[in-house]
Structure 1
Amino acid sequence: MSTITNTDAGKHSATPGSMFRSIWENRGVIWLLAKRDIQSRYKGSYIGLVWALINPLLMLLIYTFVFSVIFRARWAADAGESRTQFAFVMFVGVIVHGMFAEVVNRAPGIVLENTNYVTKVVFPLQILPVISLGNAIFQGLAGTVVLLLGMILSGGGLHWHALMLPLVFAPLLIMMVGIGWMLAALGVFIRDLKQTTMFVTTALLFLSPVFYPQSAWPQQYQWLFLFNPLTFIMEQSRQVLIWGAWPDLLGLLLYSLAALGIAWLGYFSFQRLRTGFADVL
C-alpha cells in the first residue's frame, strides 16, 4: 500500500477558522512534541532542565556588569537608581527579545528539520511553528522566574499587576506564530533565509529598548519605534512587572488585532506554499 503524503492530502484550508481549529484539534500533539523538543535541548547534560534557569541568570549578570558597570548606563535620570533596578528593567527586554528570536531564528529551518513529516506520512505540518513557540514560551517562563526571584531576594517585592503579564505577552505570541508560519514556508525554498533572520534578530536586540529607554533615541527617529514589534510589549511588560501599573489596554487591543492579521497572513502563506514542499525536499 502506498503512503499518503502531505502533498496528496488535497487542498489545505487557509481560513481564519481553520487556523484556530487546527491548533485546537492538534493540541495534544503540539503538547507532546513541544515537551519532547524542550527535553531534547538539555538531553545528556548533568543538570538537565536546570540550565533553563542558569542560562538567563548568567545573561542577567553579564548584561548588568557590561552596561551598568562598564558603560555606567542608567534607565532614568535619577542618580539614585541602583544597578539592581537597572538590571531588572533591562532583563524584561531581554526576555521579550529572547522569545521572539527563538521563534524567528528557528522558523526558516523547522520544516527542513522534519522532512520525514513532509514526504512520508500525513502530518499537520502547520503545527511545527506552534511547537517552536512552545519552546520560546518555556524559555520566557524560565527567564521570568529568575526575574521574579531576583526581585523578591533584592527586597523590592512584587506588584500584583505582574499577574497581568500573560495578557501582555499574548498578542506578541500570536504575532510570533504568524511570522513563524511565513518564515517556515519561505525557508523551504529560500535556504539563505535563516542567515537573514539571525542578523535581523541581533539587530533588534540593539534597536529595541532593551538596554536603554525609548526616550534615548533622538526625537527625529522616534517614529522608527512604531515599526518595531517588540517596543510596545517591552514597555507594557515593564509597566506590570517593574513599575506596578496597569498596561495600556487599548494599545494591547489594537496590537492584538494587528497580531491576528499577521497570524492569519502567515497561516495562509504556509497553507498555500506547503503543496510544493515535497518537490524541493
Structure 2
Amino acid sequence: MQISVLRHRSLLWDFVRRDLATKFRGSALGSVWMIVTPILTLLVYFFVFSVVFKARWAGEGLNSKASALILFSGLITYTFFSECFLRAPMLMRENPNFIKKVVFPLEVLPLAITLSAVVNAAIGYGLLLLFNLVFVGLPPLSAIALPVVLLPMFFAVLGVTYLLASLGVYLPDIKLLVPPISMAIMYLSPVFYPLDMVPQILRFAVAMNPFTPVLENVRHVFFFGQWPDVLGMIIQLAVSIAFLCACYWFFMKSKKGFPDVL
C-alpha cells in the first residue's frame, strides 16, 4: 500500500484538492464554508448547552462553555468517521470512468476522500482550540497528544472506507444500510454524553464500541490533562493497522471484478 501511494502521491493530492473544492462548487463563499460551517455549529452548541440548558459535563466540575466544547469535540471526531462511512459505498459507482481505465490506481480514491475528511476535521479541531482559548483558557499540556490518540482512528476509518468502497460495487443496497448504522453508532457512542451517565448494566456494551475509546482519549488529553495509556495506544494502533491491511487486501483482490459489475 505504501509503495502504491508513494508512486501516485501527486495524483492523490490532486484528488484531495478536487474533492474539497467540489463540495462548495457554485457557492458564493466557496471553501470559506469549511470554516463557517463548524463555527455556526459551535455557536449553536454554545447557545443550546450554555444559555438554554446551562449544561455541565457530569462529574467533571466544568462550566457550561467547557461542556459545550466537550460535546463539540465529540461531534468533530464522529463527523470524520461518518463522512467516510457514508460516502464509501458509492465511491466506485460514482467514478465508473476510472474503473474502465486499466492503468488507473483505484486504491487512490478511498484514501483521497479519507484525507479530505482529515482536512475538515483538522479545521474543526483548530476552531475547537481557538474557542477553548477564548472561553476556557489554554488547554493542558497533554493536548499535544491529540494527533497520537487520533492516529488509530485514521487507520481504522481508512480500512472501513476501503471495505465499503469494495462492497458497494457488488452490494449496491449497502448504501441504504449505512445511514441507519451511522446514526446508531453516533447515539451508542459517548458523543453527546459522558460514559459515566450510561447505566452500569449497559456501560460495558457502550465501552466495547470501537469508537468509545477514541472519544474518551480525545477528551482526556484535550480537556482533562490525562496522558493516553501507552500500552493501550500501542494495542489500538496495531489492531487498526492490521484491520486496514486486511481491508486493503480485500479491496485490491475484489477490484479486478469492478469493470464486469459496472
- Corresponding residue for residue 23 of structure 1: 5
Deviation at 1:155, TM superposition (A): 4.4
1:156-181 deviation digits (Å, cap 9, x = unpaired): 12333222211111110001111111
Structure 2 residue aligned with 1:109: 90
Correspondence for 1:37 among 7, 10, 19: 19
1:53 correspondence with 2:41: no
1:264 maps onto 2:245 in alignment: yes
Q: Which residue of 2 aligns with 1:201?
A: 182
CA contact (8 A) 1:129 1:177 kept: yes
Tell me, yes or no, if structure 1 residue 124 matches structure 2 residue 111: no
Q: CA deviation at 1:74?
A: 2.9
2:57–2:194 CA contact under 8 A, matched in 1: yes
Measure the CA separation in 1 of the matches of 2:181 and 2:42: 22
Is structure 2 residue 75 aligned with structure 1 residue 94?
yes
For residues 53-202 of structure 1, what are the structure 2 equivalents within 5 Å? 53-67=35-49, 73-77=55-59, 81-202=62-183
Compared CA separation, residues 214 and 155, structure 1 to 2 (3 A):
closer
- Which residue in 2 is equivalent to 1:229? 210
Question: Contact 2:65–2:136 at 8 Å: present in 1 too?
Answer: no
Partner Cα distance (1:199, 1:118) in 2: 29
- Provide, for residues 108-132 of structure 1, a one-character-per-residue CA deviation record: whole Å limited to 9, x for no partner: 0111111111113411111211001
Identity rate, percent: 36
Q: Is the 8 A contact 2:49 2:64 kept in 1?
A: no
Decide whether the 8 Å contact of 2:149 with 2:214 is kept in 1: yes
Q: What is the CA deviation profile of residues 201-244 of structure 1, one whole-angstrom value per residue up to 9, with x for unaligned ones?
A: 11222111111101111111122124322111111111221122
Going from structure 1 to structure 2, the CA distance change for 1:217 and 1:82 (only over 3 Å counts) comes to same
TM-score, length of structure 2 as denominator length: 0.94
SS of residue matched to 1:113: coil
The structure, 1 or 2, with the larger RCO (C-alpha pairs under 8 Å, 6+ apart) is 1
Give the letter aligned to residue 4 of structure 2. Answer: S
From the superposition, tell whether residues 83 and 155 of structure 1 become closer, same or farther in structure 2 (CA, over 3 Å): closer
In structure 1, what residue type is equivalent to 2:108? I
State the alpha-carbon separation in 1 of the partners of residues 108 and 207 from structure 2: 30
**Closer/same/farther in 2, CA of residues 123 and 40 from structure 1, 3 Å limit:** same
Q: Check conservation: 1:181, 1:270, Cα contact below 8 A.
A: yes
Residue 112 of structure 1 aligns to a residue in which SS?
coil
Q: Which runs of 5+ in 2 are unaligned?
A: none
Mind listing any 5+ residue stretches in structure 1 that lack a counterpart? 1-18
Letter in 1 for 2:6: W
Shift in CA distance, 121/275, structure 1 to aligned 2, threshold 3 Å: closer
Task: Specify the code of the residue in structure 2 equivalent to 1:75.
Answer: W
Question: Cα deviations across residues 179-206 of structure 1 (Å, max 9, x unaligned)?
Answer: 1111000001111112211111112221
Q: Which moved more, 1:219-228 or 1:131-140?
A: 219-228
Name the residue aligned to 2:196: 215
1:255 paired with 2:236, answer: yes
The whole-number CA distance in structure 2 between the counterparts of 1:227 and 1:25 is 38
8 Å Cα contact 2:54/2:64 also seen in 1:
no
Q: Which amino acid counterpart does residue 86 of structure 1 have in structure 2?
A: S
